[in-house]
Structure 1
Amino acid sequence: MIITTLDILRVIKNTPNSTFTFPIYDVLSGNTKTAPKIPTLAPKSETIWLMANGVVVPNSHYDLVGFLRDLWDDVAEITMNGKVVAQRSAYGEVMLTGKNSIFKQDAYDALIGADLLGKKTGREIVVDDLTEDAAASLMRGFIRSKGE
């Protein structure tokens, strides 16, 4: 499954107690290995810090959305709590994951996303007949959204 910046932002929002790291390709090495300073997003944070050997580099904080927007193509892999959840096979390739379950959008989030897109473009949103699983997924997403 191909991962986009919106996919990882959704996972970060849905798992606020997780630590994410984003090793980036080292431009000086010809983009064949990752840079020694690794951008890290601590639990319950919206700011990315550069970490060198597990130590925060002073004055190196970045806005999460700005970082992903500007450096997405340079990110070599994404780790969540120390486990790789997505990676590029080489610099310039697409970001792929084998762990579809954490990136899979639940029915409620998909419906809200489609509704917002419909409002932006003025289109009418049509909802298919729901199965029992889809209805349950909608309710779980709604309950989760009200709990925040």
Structure 2
Amino acid sequence: MTILGWILRRRSERRAKGLSYPELKQVLKNSQPIVSERFARGSDSGTNLERARHITGIERWGQSRLRVPLGAPLVRDEYDGYRPDDLDTMAALSQAFSSTRDDTLAILDQLQAAGVPLTTTALHNELGEITIGAWVYYLNDHGLRESLIVRS
């Protein structure tokens, strides 16, 4: 694990500690329009398209890891296969991100309904085994941080 990975892991775990499913879902709901609007305002430049595809791909990859506590097999892969590389406008990527975030929220509902404790861990390639709550903060922070690069 790199130093950055260690920092991200500790930060995500600390921020998620003691929060409930509804509170964690609210974190994601609060940032969803911020990221979507940054995408929607962005020009269709190569840099912006790449950043939006990356953010959405990471969230989709994270979803695959969050499904493991629900019984899905762990696939040790990278995020590349989850990127929406077929989308070529920021408007389309804004919609894709919003839809992807809705899917993340639905997975959290499934985890809660199945009675999966938030302390259950799922593997992150760089951060190691992190709790469901830490995954939420990782995905939330990643989208907010990386979308700052999108320019109009």
TM-score range, shorter chain: 0.3 to 0.5
How does the TM-score come out when normalised to structure 2?
Answer: 0.32
How does the TM-score come out when normalised to structure 1?
Answer: 0.32
| Higher alpha-carbon Rg | 1
More helix, by proportion: 2
Q: Greater relative contact order (Cα 8 A, min sep 6): structure 1 or 2?
A: 2
